[in-house]
Structures are given as C-alpha cells and as structure tokens.
Copies of this chain bind each other. A is one copy, B any other.
Amino acid sequence: MIKAGIVGGTGYTGVELLRLLAMHPQVDVQVVTSRAEKGLRVDAVYPNLRGFNDLCFVAPVVENLTACDVVFFATPNATAMTMAKELLAADVKLIDLSADFRLKDVAVWEKWYGAKHACPKLLEQAVYGLPETNRELIKRADLVANPGCYPTATQLGFLPLLKANVIESSMLIADAKSGVSGAGRSASVVGLMSESGESFKAYGVPGHRHLPEISQELSHLSASPVSLTFTPHLVPMIRGIHATLYAPLKETGINLQDLFETFYADEPFVDVLPSGAHPDTGDVRGTNRCQIAVHQPQGGQVVTVLSVIDNLVKGASGQAVHNMNIMFGLDEKTGLDQVGLYP
C-alpha cells in the first residue's frame, strides 16, 4: 500500500482527494493536515466521509509527512514551495495541485503570482503533470506540478490540432466556463449563491493566471509561436469546465474527427465523442474523464473544439491521482474508473 499524505485537506481539491483515495485499492491515506481544523476528525468536517476515514487533521509541518511515500499539496499557491525541498530530501514524492511549480520561468511566475518564489531551482526539476503530453517524464518524476483546471481542458482541445500543425497558432481563442467550485472553499462575497447563482459573467479578461500556463505548454507543442486570447467565465453550477476553443484552419479538407480519434485512441481519460456531438459537463461529473468534440461549422475556416471536464477531478484531484498511478507504476485507471453521476 502506498502511504499518502494530503497537505491542505479542507479545501475542495483536498476533500476530493480524500474521496478518490478512499476508493483507491492501493493507497492508504495516513496524514491529512489543516492549520484551521487541527485536532478535529476529518469526518466531522466532511460528513460524506463518515465511515471511510478515521483520521484527525494534524498541523501542516514537514515532520508529520516524512513517513509518507507521496504527499499531495491541495494548498493555496505559495505553500508547497516552502515545504517541497525538505520533503524531497526525505524521499517523499510530491504532487502539487497548486500553481507553485507549473511555470518554468521564475520571472513569469513572480509577475503573475505577485510573490517571490521560495525555491526557483525546483522549477526546472518539476514535471508538468499532464499525462497526455508528459507521461514518460511523469514516470520518473519526484515532483509533479499538477495542471490547472482551465489549462487541462484547453490543452487537451488544442493539442491534436497543434501537433498536426493545421491551425494558425497566432490566433487562438479559448472561451472557458467554470463551475463555482473552481474558486475554492474560502469565505467570500463573490462566491455566495446569492451572487453567483442565476447569473453569468466573465472575469479576469485583462489577464488570468492560467493564461501564461496555457501559453507555456501550448508553445512547447507548437511549431510556430502561440498567441492566445483566454476568457474565463463563471457558471452557476458547482462542478464542471467547458472550454470552447477557436482557431483558424490553415487548410480545408482535413478530417478533424479522424485526427482527434487517432490522437487520443490510447488515452484512458480522453474520450472523443462522435462527429456532431456536444459534450455536456454533466456527463463527466465526478469522473476523471475529458470528453471532446470537434466541429468545423459550415465547413468554414474556423475549427471549434468543445472540451469538458470535472474541474475537481480531471482538472485537479483526479489528475493528481492519475499522476500518482503513473509515478508508482500502477495501472493508470486504478481507483479512477467511475461512471459519471448523471443526472
């Protein structure tokens, strides 16, 4: 059994890790930390876990975690970077669900996250944990930077097109929509149901932190420079991301459906829907699956890709478990083979 620890067990990605790992046959969660809830039983805070978890929250300090084989950081940004070095030194594998190790350029990181990075040397060592592009690196990684939710949905949609070099990478548009759980479990006015229910709005149009992450990764995959316009929106629902992606096609006559199906034929968690389909976030609820459809409306110059995930699973905790499975040589689907909760 893999001994796992979770730092930051009271946020939504933390409790989702607890849910997924409770059903994972090869993992034993031994430590869950929380500064605020230290000493409380985990299932007193999260009644959905009653009967599945007997732990109490402990303080988020390194010595509580060194006996683990793997530690997940489900923390706010700028926390993992303060503990990573010591834990790596203790031979603990790390999977960081925050943004601390996603960007390779420390200057870019510090600009977008407004803080000094505590261990810039680890940025190169960290592997960006999108299995569909980095599987081999993840197998050998000690430190995985788990991708953001928007970046996951967006990259999986653009990836086959960029790799095949069939779109103008200088005019990419990602119009993305997220359920409210993406904002986390911190007290806020903007997250109140009275504010975010029955309403729809964009946010971060001048610049969102996931923009440099997506741009960095798409640039790796693209033959030509990438320029992306990224617009996140808030949807009055709890879980789910829908990315609607647009790009000008370099040529017509490409069989886009075939391109996507071939590209993802062996991927366990990317499901290319039949031609003409419209994926629904409601069909991937609770699962680690990305469902994708590709369209060329009226046979015109613009390709439209529709990509949906559950932001807390494929967009966070499920992808983290997927990365762990790869890092520990398990079957990739272990513990993640669930049917979406519909309706």
Please name all residues of chain B whose beta carbon is closer than 8 Å to the beta carbon of A171 when the two chains form the complex.
171, 248, 301-302
Complex interface residues of chain A between 325 and 343 (CB less than 8 A to chain B) = 338-343
Q: Digit string of A190-206 for contact with B (CB within 8 Å is 1, else 0)?
A: 01111111111111011
Which one of A22, A341, A342 has the greatest number of beta carbons of chain B within 10 Å?
A342
Is there contact, CB below 8 Å, between B297 and A207? yes
Is there contact, CB below 8 Å, between A197 and B48? no
Is there contact, CB below 8 Å, between B276 and A206? yes
**Which of B49, B194, B206, B229 contacts A185 (CB under 8 A)?**
B194
Complex interface residues of chain A between 27 and 83 (CB less than 8 A to chain B) = 44, 46-52
Q: How far is the CA of A199 from the CA of B310 in the complex (A)?
A: 10
Please name all residues of chain B whose beta carbon is closer than 8 Å to the beta carbon of A177 when the two chains form the complex.
177, 200, 233
Please name all residues of chain B whose beta carbon is closer than 8 Å to the beta carbon of A308 when the two chains form the complex.
200-201
Is there contact, CB below 8 Å, between B191 and A298? no
Name A50's closest neighbour in chain B (CB-CB). Answer: B271
Is there contact, CB below 8 Å, between B199 and A282? yes
| Residues of A that sit less than 8 Å from B by CB | 12, 15, 18-19, 22-23, 44, 46-52, 171, 173, 175, 177, 179-181, 183, 185-189, 191-203, 205-207, 227, 229-231, 233, 235-240, 242, 244, 246, 248, 271, 273-274, 276-287, 291, 293, 295, 297-298, 300-302, 304, 306, 308, 338-343
With A189-B186, A193-B191, A229-B302: A297-B206 Cβ-Cβ less than 8 Å:
yes
Q: How far is the CA of A337 from the CA of B225 in the complex (A)?
A: 49
Is there contact, CB below 8 Å, between A231 and B283? no
Is there contact, CB below 8 Å, between A205 and B278? yes
5 A/B residue pairs, CB under 8 Å, sorted by A: A171-B248, A177-B200, A198-B282, A198-B285, A233-B242
Is there contact, CB below 8 Å, between A237 and B199? yes
Is there contact, CB below 8 Å, between A205 and B297? yes
Is there contact, CB below 8 Å, between B286 and A341? yes
With A207-B298, A244-B233: A280-B198 Cβ-Cβ less than 8 Å:
no
